[in-house]
């Protein structure tokens, strides 16, 4: 971007030296003698007309529908970012076109009259096009909201997007111009000291500023952000959700009999062990006898090291008799140690309480920060937990030990995948896997998806005829028992509208298959791929991924029950049993409080 705007800062000089060539069309006024600071500030406001064209184009693209409904505030932010990127791209394109094409043509520059017509035509045309797209966008947002049973926006309210986008774009463009001026300053100093050619000095100036910015971001800003966020979320970790009380049942970690004290489990750990249905409630809901479900957990403060925490987890399983239950479920957690209460409630009801669930916290940070900064740590923590439990599980007699399952959701799927090198190791280690809402960066998920059978869509791929690994986007998409599905079964549940599943850096410059194919059940057909823009659209969707109704986005609701039934249903299970469990879950819905 900085190279593309190189002509802007030397308007008077270029005009004096090349009177037969006009400047690129831009907002500029004659420059009387003014204070240098005033002139520098004015330089931040001047706009290149080629940049305006591309800025409007990128802004209009950003108004097309994405995966999830967006209100005017989110759209204003994403529209402003895309407009700024489009402006920089347009300036670079204009500079390159003039240097390597137009300046070699006899008809360039344009006659002054034509130049003035263009000057006065481009801004209002850009504004009119943007207003028209805002009108269309409001309609698309209402369609998308209706598709997800959410409240739609109004057309008049959505026009606020334009004003916000202008402010955001101006802020970003000004910031880039400040960096450009720093490059020029460095280049001038190099010229004074070393007497090198201006072109070389400019290149060195760009390199130095880029290195400085990267070093500042990685060495100072990220470290500061990490320290601050760890400090903030470690304080939250010491809090307890309203209504969460220390369990008295010995089957729960944090109880008086537990080796993992209540006050060491962390915010999410205390939520996990204090919530859920009791044996009495399960028995009443299902109309049959039930056992007290076992929930074992270790927080970051339960022991000093990861190995010590996992030793306590295994001791908790031994203490509670977990290896004598029908099933044992290992749950690698998301960032702060969160475990989806709906998923655990579903498997506890399905097994009539005859199940043990084990999890451990590995970070103070929420999932979205852990995804950006701690992906390797998440995979290592998931592998350590699964390996530790699996090692102890193998010591039990094969005929009597419980079925061993792995569950993961969101970043927890990435943590869980970290325990296995590939499909063969999964099949040799556990009795089934249920992974819900996997991030696009997941290693195994990507392998299965990329090697899918020819003709199967990316949004719901078929891998090796679905004999072991399967994908589903809703309950009706989970194949019936009549179709061959070898054990142990591996199931990925993913919505077509889940930005966690479909966001990837590849969206910047490559159209994915899922946007070339017929849309999934809850994605608008009007969604299109645009370079750079779609990346930021889906990135914005991430911020509200779980803020949509059940069955859409990153909110999977009771669909996890259908996943559990497909992967681990007890012998003799029927569709009526599934609906009975779902009815109990609906009856107690919301009792566990917010999920994240």
- DSSP class per residue in 530-565: -TTHHHHHHHHHHTTTTSS-TTBTTB-TTHHHHHHH
Start-to-end CA distance of the chain, whole Å, equals 39
Q: How far apart are CA 520 and CA 514, in angstroms?
A: 8
Segment (H or E) for 55:
helix 49-62
Segment (H or E) for 489:
strand 489-493
Give the tens place of pLDDT for each residue, 293-341: 999 999 999 999 999 999 999 999 999 999 999 999 999 998 788 999 9
Q: Percent of the chain beyond pLDDT 90?
A: 58
Q: Dihedral (C-alpha) 122, 126, 129, 130: value to the nearest 10 degrees?
A: -170
Mean pLDDT, rounded, of the chain: 85
Position 59 scores a pLDDT of 96
* 19 band by pLDDT with thresholds 50, 70 and 90: very low
Position 258 scores a pLDDT of 97
Chain centroid offset of residue 17 CA: 51
Q: Mean pLDDT across the stretch 469-475?
A: 88
Neighbouring residues of 539: CB distance < 8 A, sequence distance ≥ 6 = 78, 499, 503
* 371 band by pLDDT with thresholds 50, 70 and 90: low
Smallest CA-to-CA distance from 515 within 504, 527, 501, 503 is with: 527
Position 181 scores a pLDDT of 76
Residue 81 has pLDDT above 80, yes or no: yes
Sign of CA dihedral 237, 238, 243, 249: positive
Q: Dihedral (C-alpha) 585, 586, 590, 595: value to the nearest 10 degrees?
A: 60
Segment (H or E) for 386:
helix 375-393
Position 229 scores a pLDDT of 64
DSSP 284: H
- DSSP alpha helix (H) spans, 159-221: 160-194, 198-216
Residue 369 has pLDDT above 70, yes or no: no
Residue ranges of the domains in the chain? 8-195, 238-495+556-587
Least confident piece of the model among 158-167, 312-321, 344-353: 158-167
Determine the Cα angle at 442 with ends 439 and 444, to 5°: 140
Residue 364 has pLDDT above 80, yes or no: no
Q: How many CA atoms lie within 13 A of 190 on its CB side?
A: 19
Position 493 scores a pLDDT of 96
Q: In this structure, what token pair is assigned to residue 238?
A: 């010491």
Give the tens place of pLDDT for each residue, 512-551: 999 999 998 889 999 999 999 999 999 989 988 988 988 9
Smallest CA-to-CA distance from 27 within 46, 54, 51 is with: 46
Buried b (16+ CB within 10 A) or exposed e, 53-83: bbbbbbbbbbbbbbbbbbbbebbbbbbbbbb
Residue 48 has pLDDT above 80, yes or no: yes
Give the tens place of pLDDT for each residue, 101-156: 888 888 888 888 888 888 788 889 999 999 999 999 999 999 999 999 888 888 88
Smallest CA-to-CA distance from 72 within 82, 63, 59 is with: 63
Smallest CA-to-CA distance from 253 within 325, 338, 332, 315 is with: 315
Q: How far apart are CA 567 and CA 428, in angstroms?
A: 16
Position 230 scores a pLDDT of 60
Give the tens place of pLDDT for each residue, 377-419: 788 899 999 999 999 999 999 999 999 999 999 989 999 999 9
Q: In this structure, what token pair is assigned to residue 74?
A: 């989110």
Chain centroid offset of residue 560 CA: 20
Sign of CA dihedral 220, 222, 225, 228: negative
Neighbouring residues of 210: CB distance < 8 A, sequence distance ≥ 6 = none
Q: How far apart are CA 534 and CA 528, in angstroms?
A: 8
Q: Mean pLDDT across the stretch 434-451?
A: 95
Give the tens place of pLDDT for each residue, 168-226: 998 888 887 777 777 777 777 777 777 666 666 666 766 666 666 666 555 555 556 65
Q: Mean pLDDT across the stretch 283-287?
A: 95
Is residue 431 a contact partner of residue 487, using CB atoms and an 8 Å limit?
Answer: yes
Residue 28 has pLDDT above 70, yes or no: no
* 1 band by pLDDT with thresholds 50, 70 and 90: very low
* 479 band by pLDDT with thresholds 50, 70 and 90: low
Q: How far apart are CA 117 and CA 115, in angstroms?
A: 5
């Amino acid at each position: 971007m900085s190279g593309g705007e190189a002509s802007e800062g030397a308007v008077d000089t270029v005009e004096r030296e090349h009177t037969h060539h006009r400047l690129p069309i831009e907002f500029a006024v004659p420059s009387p003698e003014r204070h240098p600071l005033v002139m520098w500030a004015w330089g931040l406001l001047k706009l290149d007309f080629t940049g305006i064209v591309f800025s409007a184009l990128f802004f209009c693209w950003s108004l097309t529908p994405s995966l999830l409904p967006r209100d005017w505030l989110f759209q204003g932010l994403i529209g402003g970012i895309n407009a700024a990127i489009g402006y920089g791209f347009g300036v670079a394109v204009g500079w390159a076109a003039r240097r390597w094409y137009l300046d070699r043509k006899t008809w360039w520059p344009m006659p002054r009259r034509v130049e003035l017509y263009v000057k006065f035509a481009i801004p209002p045309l850009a504004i009119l096009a943007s207003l028209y797209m805002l009108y269309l966008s409001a309609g698309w947002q209402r369609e998308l909201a209706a598709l997800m049973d959410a409240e739609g926006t109004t057309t008049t309210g959505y026009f606020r997007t334009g004003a916000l986008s202008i402010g955001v774009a101006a802020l970003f463009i000004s910031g880039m111009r400040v960096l450009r001026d720093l490059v020029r300053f460095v280049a001038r100093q190099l010229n004074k000291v070393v007497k090198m050619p201006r072109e070389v000095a400019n290149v060195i100036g760009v390199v130095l500023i880029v290195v400085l910015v990267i070093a500042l971001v990685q060495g100072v800003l990220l470290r500061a952000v990490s320290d601050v966020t760890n400090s903030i979320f470690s304080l939250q970790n010491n809090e307890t959700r309203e209504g969460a009380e220390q369990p008295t049942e010995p089957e729960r970690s944090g109880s008086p009999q537990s080796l993992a004290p209540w006050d060491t489990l962390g915010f999410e750990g205390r939520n996990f062990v204090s919530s859920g249905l009791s044996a009495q409630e399960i028995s009443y809901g299902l109309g049959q006898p039930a056992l007290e479900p076992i929930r074992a957990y270790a927080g970051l403060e339960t022991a000093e090291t990861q190995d010590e925490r996992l030793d306590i987890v295994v001791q908790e399983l031994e203490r509670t008799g977990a290896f004598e239950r029908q099933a044992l479920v290992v749950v690698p957690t998301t960032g702060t140690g969160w475990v989806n209460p709906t998923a655990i409630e579903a498997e506890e009801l399905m097994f009539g309480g005859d199940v043990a669930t084990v999890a451990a916290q590995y970070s103070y940070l929420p999932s979205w920060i852990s995804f950006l900064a701690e992906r390797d740590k998440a995979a290592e923590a998931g592998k350590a937990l699964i390996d530790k439990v699996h090692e102890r599980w193998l010591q039990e007699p094969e005929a009597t030990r419980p079925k061993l399952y792995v569950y993961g959701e969101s970043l927890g799927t990435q943590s869980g995948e970290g325990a296995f090198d590939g499909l063969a190791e999964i099949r040799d280690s556990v009795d089934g896997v249920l992974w819900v809402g996997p991030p696009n960066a997941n290693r195994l998920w990507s392998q299965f998806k990329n090697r899918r059978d020819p003709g199967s869509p990316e949004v719901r791929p078929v891998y090796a005829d679905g004999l072991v690994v399967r994908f589903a986007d809703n309950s009706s998409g989970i194949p019936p028992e009549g179709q061959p599905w070898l054990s142990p079964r591996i199931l990925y549940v993913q919505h077509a509208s889940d930005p966690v599943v479909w966001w990837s850096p590849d969206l910047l410059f490559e159209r994915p298959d899922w946007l070339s194919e017929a849309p999934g059940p809850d994605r608008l057909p009007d969604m299109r791929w645009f370079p750079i823009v779609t990346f930021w659209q889906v990135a914005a969707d991430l911020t509200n991924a779980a803020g949509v109704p059940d069955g859409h986005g990153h909110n999977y609701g009771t669909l996890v029950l259908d996943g559990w039934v497909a992967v681990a249903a007890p012998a003799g299970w029927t569709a009526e049993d599934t609906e009975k469990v779902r009815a109990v879950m609906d009856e107690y819905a919301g009792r566990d409080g917010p999920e994240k």
